[in-house]
Structure 1
Amino acid sequence: MSLSVRLLLALLLIGIALLGHWVQRDQLHDNYDNQISFVDVLYFTTITVTTVGYGDIVPVTEHARLFDTFVVTPIRLFVWLIFLGTAYDFVLKRVWERWKMRVIQQHLRNHVLIAGFGTSGTEAFRELVRRGARPGEIVVIDQRSAAIAAAEDLGATVLEDDATRNATLEAAQVARAKAIIVCAGRDDTSILIVLTARRLAPDVPISVVIRSEDNEPLAKQAGANTVINPASFAGLLLAGSTHGHHLADYMADLAATEGQVFLHERRVTSKEVGKPLAAIGTGLGLRIYRGERIVGFWEPEAGSLENGDLILEVVPSTPAS
């Protein structure tokens, strides 16, 4: 579309010059045969707009020279600007972007990949940065130029392409990513991205936003580790607020890093093995993920931590002094 608009604009400008020369063709002189035909006018216009002319056809009246000075010369400048801008956008810029992406790809490792940079993707990006991630370590994939521009302004590494394609995810080094966040805006697109990503990166954790409850099992089957339904989560907060107006505030506090506390997941350390969950010193232990088993802090199994356990804890945003 952009190329078509530029081409039409260039033709329109050349057409204006051509019409002006044709109307005042009797004010031009052909040094070859002293006759001015339409072909001569077309030739003169093209040569004059693209160069300074060869001198074989020249304007001989003051009016014709003023027309070339104040109409054709600006047209020549605009046409050259269009050609140069097109060459930059469609040749030089793309070559530069490909080279830059190859350099970036060589160093992409343990990055977070965000497929879709709408409201959810933008908030996920901001929260990752608040949690300590460097913006350049977050790769944003989106087909919309405006979304890519917004992500680039925030410092993200960007890729304007279709995240459902193998080649796109491979270019983003999905297999070497630390995590994948999928929020494409449509459940079918998000599930297809999850399928593609899971095939290329069998071991990378994938989180996906699904808007329809019926599609949540499909997203799980596609390979998503975490499925988040914004409407369901909002409903939980709303329902919880009816049993105490502080419940929703605390839930939001846990989910973000801007409050007093936040949720943290980590592996048990060697020094903690054999100790009870309540004895960890980094925060308040809530759960243990032991293989396929989920152990709550009140259960007997929480009395002794084991190698390989994952601990879910609440930690203060600001360490105690």
Structure 2
Amino acid sequence: MSTVPSRRLFEQILFTRDDLRPGRTLLFRIGLVLALFALVFLVLWLERDGLKDNYDQHMTAIDILYFTMITITTVGYGDIVPVSQQARLVDAVFITPIRLFIWFLFLGTAYQLVASQYREGYRMAKVQAALRDHIIVCGFGYTGWSTARELLAKGTNPDGLVIIEPREERVKAAIELGLVAFRGDATQETMLRHAVIQRAKAVIITAGRDDTNALVLLTARHLNSTVEILVSAVEEENVKLFRQGGATGIISPSTFGGYLLAAAVGHPHFMDYVQDLLTAGGRINLIERPVERNEIGQTATALKPDILLRLYRGGTVIQFWDLQEGQKLEAGDVLVILKSLSDATASNLPTA
């Protein structure tokens, strides 16, 4: 949980959609300079009869190339000069503005390179100011990528989903989804502070290694004692350790996948139903929510067409078959509901 910044203190940390192709501006400027250089060379070649070489009366292509270079760079040795009225007019009206434009282009590029770290600070502050009740995903391997895709499919705003990932190619995959990404190590306090964990709604830890997940968990819990933290456990034996470390929820993909495979034996439609139940594109959803004000004092039948599966009341868990006839919903109840979506609603949901 070190507070020491990364070695890449002055390298780019924050990545957004604008950084999807970070070299395109520089390549465009280089191409523009080469195009203008070629244009000036062509014009001077056409006007070569109006130029005078004080050392050689015959103007060759190499002489024009040389004169183009010293003209554009404003060196001006004086060995080749425009002597005709037309050549001087071309130099004053056409070439001089190009010369100034190229120099401004060079100065602007140099300024951007020098001021990049100050610009990074401004961008960082702007993004951080907008982050509130967001979700932080630490690790953007396949599990993190799938999690982010499903969250987006279920309606999460891309601006409310922040990725922390040290690998550049995975950062690129995140910004291709339109997400905000920080390139760095999520085990460091500095990186989690960059992602404004103090105001986060939830932290999802999918670093791919249980030891790394544990360090991220401890660091995140140290920085925010109340945030919801969900951890992906590679080994089942580490689940209890994550729980002791303050994880709100722990999922072991390999173990959970084993449960599903075992349950699907002899039940060919089981997996279709589970996928329909858990994914955004399904026609039924399993949701958890607090009881609404207008539902207080009502019975479970008032929730129709939704079906109440489980009721959490204080420290008590009440299954739907344990609900007494006429039992009322109370303030503070948390409901686990099987929610049915209409065909129209399901068809309008984005797919993962």
TM-score, length basis structure 1:
0.70
**Residue number among 254, 259, 264 corresponding to 1:231 in the alignment:** 254
Shift of 1:318: 3.3
2:315 matches 1:310: no
SS state at 1:271 partner = helix
Shift of 1:140: 0.5
SS state at 2:294 partner = coil
2:216 matches 1:193: yes
* Equivalence for 2:237: 214
Question: Contact 1:118 / 1:183 at 8 angstroms: preserved in 2?
Answer: yes
2:153 matches 1:130: yes
* Equivalence for 1:144: 167
Q: 1:85 to 1:184 in 2, by over 3 A?
A: farther
Distance (whole Å) between structure 1 residues aligned to residue 149 and residue 305 of structure 2: 25
Distance (whole Å) between structure 2 residues aligned to residue 212 and residue 85 of structure 1: 50
Question: Contact 1:114 / 1:183 at 8 angstroms: preserved in 2?
Answer: yes
* Equivalence for 2:298: 275
Show CA shifts across 1:264-299 (max 9, x none): 111101222232334313621111122332221111
Shift of 1:100: 0.8
* Equivalence for 1:255: 278
Report the AA paired with residue 318 of structure 1: S
Which 4+ residue blocks in structure 1 deviate beyond 6 angstroms? 51-55, 84-87
Distance (whole Å) between structure 2 residues aligned to residue 291 and residue 245 of structure 1: 38
**Residue number among 202, 223, 230 corresponding to 1:179 in the alignment:** 202
State how many pairs are aligned.
Answer: 249
Report the AA paired with residue 149 of structure 2: R
CA RMSD of aligned residues (A): 3.0
Report the AA paired with residue 235 of structure 1: G
Report the AA paired with residue 309 of structure 1: D
Q: 1:52 to 1:208 in 2, by over 3 A?
A: same
Distance (whole Å) between structure 1 residues aligned to residue 199 and residue 225 of structure 2: 11
Distance (whole Å) between structure 2 residues aligned to residue 152 and residue 320 of structure 1: 31
Counterpart mapping for 1:289-308 below 5 A = 289-300=312-323, 303-308=327-332
Counterpart mapping for 1:40-59 below 5 A = none
Question: Contact 1:257 / 1:317 at 8 angstroms: preserved in 2?
Answer: no
Distance (whole Å) between structure 1 residues aligned to residue 110 and residue 187 of structure 2: 29
Distance (whole Å) between structure 1 residues aligned to residue 298 and residue 343 of structure 2: 22
- Indicate the larger mover: 216-225 or 275-284: 275-284
Distance (whole Å) between structure 2 residues aligned to residue 54 and residue 166 of structure 1: 56
2:184 matches 1:161: yes
Higher relative contact order (CA 8 A, sep 6+): 2
Distance (whole Å) between structure 1 residues aligned to residue 322 and residue 332 of structure 2: 18
Distance (whole Å) between structure 2 residues aligned to residue 120 and residue 93 of structure 1: 33
- Indicate the larger mover: 310-319 or 124-133: 310-319
User: Between the two proteins, what is the percent identity of the paired residues?
Assistant: 36
* Equivalence for 1:70: none
Shift of 1:252: 1.8
* Equivalence for 1:17: none
Report the AA paired with residue 163 of structure 2: V
Q: 1:190 to 1:281 in 2, by over 3 A?
A: same
Shift of 1:138: 0.6
* Equivalence for 1:26: none
Q: 1:170 to 1:301 in 2, by over 3 A?
A: farther
**Residue number among 265, 270, 280 corresponding to 2:288 in the alignment:** 265
* Equivalence for 1:118: 141
Question: Contact 1:114 / 1:141 at 8 angstroms: preserved in 2?
Answer: yes
Report the AA paired with residue 169 of structure 2: A
2:230 matches 1:245: no
Report the AA paired with residue 268 of structure 2: H
* Equivalence for 1:108: 131
TM-score, length basis structure 2:
0.64
SS state at 1:288 partner = strand
* Unaligned segments of structure 2, at least 5 residues: 1-7, 9-72, 78-107, 346-352
* Unaligned segments of structure 1, at least 5 residues: 3-50, 56-83
Question: Contact 1:278 / 1:297 at 8 angstroms: preserved in 2?
Answer: no
